[in-house]
Amino acid sequence: MAPKIGLFICDCGKTLSQTMDYDSLISDLKKSGKFEFIVRESVLCRSDLEKMLKKLKESKVDKVIVAACTPKLYESTWGHLLEDAGMNYYDLVIANIREQCAWVHKDEPKESVTEKARGLILSAANRAEVLEEIPREKIPITQKVVVIGGGIAGLTAAQELAELGIEVNVIEKKPTVGGLCLELGTVFPTQDCSLCVRTTGCPGLGDGSPRRCIYRANLEFNPKIKFYTNSEVIDVMGDVGNFKVVVKKNPRYVSEEKCIRCNECVKVCPVEVPDDFNLGLTTRKAIYMPFVQAIPQIYAIDPKTCKFEQCKKCVEVCPTDAINLKEKEETFTIDAGSIIIATGFDEYNPALVKEYNYERYPDVITQIEYSIWVMTSG
């Protein structure tokens, strides 16, 4: 048996009736025979909600169509109203006759706009006829978040979640967090440090929130945020609300607990290689601090260039036994209710656009190349 369908149609404070002929629309819809009732109102999102509820309780329809504005605005309001009337939240179909009809066709003939609205509502009725009830169930969720990627987006997310009291685990594959923004220097249009966590709080752009950068935000010492550097996610199990995130932590070879940042290891390390953080414009040792303000402030060994057992000079001079050249990777699991993927970006390769003459003229450079040049040229 076909379900009984009720239709509420809204003229949005009579504004939509300037573009559509509601009398003719309702008359046509009545003739279709698809609706148990058709009710026209002007403010279905607010003052007419009580009337809607009363009508639903009295009429005992199976499905409901609301022909009004975008579902993004009031779908949950009407869905919960259905529940108050003893129906299923998902017995609702919304026909968007405002944004997808009246507003986009406001300069077109009223008959055509009305015809489109009629089509949208009848399509919604067809959909309502085949809708099945979806049960809603509550499940306990883990109040922890894993953020994959410790760049500016991941750090911003981590900080804002921590402020809400949520425990956050940031997984970053490099030895330091900050991502590519570390290399950007200052950015247009405020010339603020590119590491600002809240650029919208900057003067001129502002939402009134204080301007903070990842250093001033004290993220490293926030008890709600835990950083896993040199780490990558290798598997995710579970489902929304209860994930198990499997993390592989690659060896840093320097203990985060024991290193006192004395720099003695760097002085004796015989291996000098181009510093990739500075695009190879400077050099660093095989054991190194990624850069002066790195978070965490712990040295790391580059396994691709270190001589390990054939050298061990750093181990010999380290005053706190912080270096373990035999350190192995470890794998562990973190519980998380949500996962944020903020794995960053690569700078665009300007060589792909011939007109830029990027590889032809030495003065045509990218933002990062410019910033690194400024930072390294003193």
Which tokens sit at 263? 């720099």
Q: CB-wise, 38 or 269, nearer to ligand SF4?
A: 269
Does 265 interact with ligand SF4 (rule: CB under 6 A)?
A: yes
Binding residue for ligand SF4 (CB under 6 A) from 152, 155, 254, 336?
254
Compute φ and ψ for 246, nearest 5 degrees.
-95, 125
Q: CB-wise, 180 or 273, nearer to ligand SF4?
A: 273
Q: Quick one: which of 93, 92, 147, 96 has its CA closest to 117?
A: 96
Binding residue for ligand SF4 (CB under 6 A) from 286, 294, 340, 372?
286
Q: CB-wise, 43 or 268, nearer to ligand SF4?
A: 268
Question: How many angstroms from the chain centroid is the CA of residue 284?
Answer: 35
Does 75 interact with ligand SF4 (rule: CB under 6 A)?
A: no
Q: CB-wise, 8 or 277, nearer to ligand SF4?
A: 277
| Three-class secondary structure of residue 225 per DSSP | strand
Enumerate residues 6+ apart whose C-beta is below 8 A from 14: 42
Q: CB-wise, 4 or 174, nearer to ligand SF4?
A: 174
**Angstrom distance (rounded) from CA 328 to CA 340:** 27
Q: CB-wise, 97 or 318, nearer to ligand SF4?
A: 318
Amino acid present at 142: T
Which tokens sit at 91? 């017995």
For residues 85-124, which are near ligand SF4 according to CB under 6 A? none
**Angstrom distance (rounded) from CA 5 to CA 122:** 11
DSSP state of 233: E
Does 287 interact with ligand SF4 (rule: CB under 6 A)?
A: yes
**What is the DSSP secondary-structure string of 282-333?**
SEEESEE-SSTT-SS---EE-TTT--GGGT-HHHHH-TT--B-TT---EEEE
Q: Give the x/- contact pattern for ligand SF4 in 296-335, rule: CB under 6 A.
A: ---x-x----xxx--xxxx--xx-x-xx------------
Does 273 interact with ligand SF4 (rule: CB under 6 A)?
A: no
Question: How many angstroms from the chain centroid is the CA of residue 358?
Answer: 33
Residue 264 Cβ, how far from ligand SF4 at the closest point, in Å?
4
Footprint of ligand SF4 on this chain (CB under 6 A)?
254, 259-265, 268-271, 286-287, 299, 301, 306-308, 311-314, 317-318, 320, 322-323
